[in-house]
Structure 1
Amino acid sequence: MLWFVGLGIGGAEALSDKIKKIISESGVVYFEQFTSPMKEHETKFLEQLTKGQFKLAPRWLVEDGKEILEAAKTKQVALLSYGDPYIATTHIELRIRAISDDIKTDTIHGSSAITSLIGECGLHFYKVGKTVTIMSGISSSTAYYTIFENLKLGNHTIVLLEWNQNKNFFLDPKDAIASLKVQEKEQARKVFSDDTYGIVASRIGQDNQKIIAGKFSSLSKTDFGEAPHTIIIPGMMHFTESDALKVLAECIEPPEDNTPKIEKISAQMMKKYIPMVRRALDQITPYYKDSKEFAGVLENADLYIKDAERFYSQGQDELAILSIGYADGLVDALRIAKGIEPEIP
């Protein structure tokens, strides 16, 4: 028998009688701490509840799973996790393996800091997009583009920060913000700036919980205290979300939406390429003023540019891109025929 037990975020004193009973009746209790840490006195409390073996489980032991599954074939085993056990995909995979080995499994779900922090900030959970993680020393380009996609839809993004159990290392929110700004310089999609609004939720569920919100320029200079921390990048906030955030958080600046501050890649392209192709057409036209056979080509290039402008104004970005692409191709052909070098974007 293998129990997956979520301890929630309320600490040892918030454990239900059922959880305490499962722990005390288990032959082996594994307490994994790689998803989030528990304080030493809380770990000690769990150990005291255990009548069988109590073992701290590092990431490799849970990912390998062989020892846990082997023990669960002959005795009741409990795998304890801070928060909810299935926030970690490793635990889902272990449960599937257990069921495949005809090992009975059961679950005690617990509140997770990842889900709880949304309500603690006063945000609407159904507006949360894809979650991302930022690690130290690793490019945050994936996080950059995921947040970009979420913002385009008006969604909020939960940004998880690295915790290295072996090194007892927590990534500081200021370093995570700095890494996103580095990506902005490299990607240049106008997603992040000093005016980007962020929320840093620290120690959710603990007595010293703290939520601080403000622009990146302010958050980059703020001490958030001890870990763990999570960043939220809000998209479009309903007025009830903004009002709640003002009450529930320390707002260095008033809440702001980030979605209106960004532009879709297609919009950025249109702003760049429509004027560029128009200039190129104006440049090449005088070379063909006496060439009637090319009048139709020039006219079509002009019409495609106008189509691109019209489609873009109507929000039909795909058609706008196709139209400006056709216009650019015609103009390039006209330039090549005259031996004129194309403009480099």
Structure 2
Amino acid sequence: MGELVFVGLGLFDEKDITLKGLDAARAADSVFAEFYTSSLRGTTVATLELMIGKAIKSLTRKDIEQGSEILDAARRGSVALLIPGDPMSATTHVALRLRAIDAGIETRIVHGPSIVSAAAGVLGLQSYKFGRATTVPFTGDTFRPASPLDVIEENRKRGLHTLVLLDIKEDGEFLTAGKAIEYLLELAAERKSDAFTADTLVCAVGQVGSDRPRVAAGRAK
């Protein structure tokens, strides 16, 4: 029986991977990667392949959720799964690890820099003053989840900041901060909630991990 190693790639480019992560990727018989939870804007798969010295097969969310291909490979040998940020930040990766353990496959985690801690650092905020994080997804006529506003409301009652992650489609399209703010204002108005108003202070960060991260702050409207 082989091994499945979850390797965090960090935040921005190929230089964010740790030395331990690089060693694990180079030692693996097969290397897979996913970029549906985030994308490394400062690099490419080709650059990662050149640095590791191995071909990388990119997987979709469906591939990870099904897990059959990567688990079959891990039964035969050592597999590295490259993941932006820190490997266990997404529920799909946790579920895949549990499936591997149930199948008798050894698992290992090589952590990487995560936006969860980096966003606070870039903004000069205290990480321990953040509550539960939430994600604003792409919405539609029949899909308008209220959970992001619920999390913000809960955190504000406790005097805590909220890290709001923005959705990304598998074709690489990002939900913008502006669209997320519009949606939260609409939700709050519909529910007559004062948890998120035009006067709410909002900070937006992008390209964190690069030499010049983008930071903006102001009232929601």
Mark yes or no: TM-score above 0.5: yes
Contact 1:140 1:180 in 2 (8 A): no
Q: CA deviation at 1:11?
A: 2.0
Alignment match, 2:166? 161
2:204 pairs with 1:197:
no
Instruction: Please tell me the residue identity of whatever aligns with 1:191.
Output: A
CA distance in 2, matches of 1:36, 1:3: 19
Alignment match, 1:242? none
Contact 2:4 2:107 in 1 (8 A): yes
Aligned-residue identity in percent: 34
What is the aligned counterpart of 2:37 among 27, 35, 38? Answer: 35
Instruction: Please tell me the residue identity of whatever aligns with 1:67.
Output: E
How many equivalent residue pairs? Answer: 216
CA distance in 1, matches of 2:89, 2:220: 28
Contact 1:132 1:159 in 2 (8 A): yes
Distance 1:41 1:203, change over 3 A: closer
What is the aligned counterpart of 1:150 among 132, 146, 155? Answer: 155
Alignment match, 2:101? 99
Q: CA deviation at 1:18?
A: 2.9
Contact 1:163 1:169 in 2 (8 A): yes
- In the TM superposition, 1:1-345 aligns within 5 A as 1-9=3-11, 11-39=13-41, 41-137=43-139, 138-166=143-171, 168-217=172-221
Cα-to-partner distance string for 1:221-264 (whole Å, 9 max, x where unaligned): xxxxxxxxxxxxxxxxxxxxxxxxxxxxxxxxxxxxxxxxxxxx
CA distance in 1, matches of 2:42, 2:218: 33
Q: Which structure: greater helix fraction?
A: 1
Q: CA deviation at 1:211?
A: 1.3
Gaps of 5+ in 1: 218-345
CA distance in 2, matches of 1:110, 1:40: 16
Contact 1:8 1:82 in 2 (8 A): yes
Contact 1:130 1:157 in 2 (8 A): yes
Instruction: Please tell me the residue identity of whatever aligns with 1:89.
Output: T
CA distance in 1, matches of 2:149, 2:18: 40
Q: What is the RMSD of the two structures over their aligned residues, measured on CA atoms? A: 1.7
Question: Given the two structures, how large is their TM-score scaled by the length of structure 1?
Answer: 0.59
> Which structure has the larger Rg over C-alpha atoms?
1
Contact 1:131 1:158 in 2 (8 A): yes
Q: CA deviation at 1:40?
A: 7.3
- Higher relative CO (Cα under 8 Å, sequence separation at least 6) belongs to 2
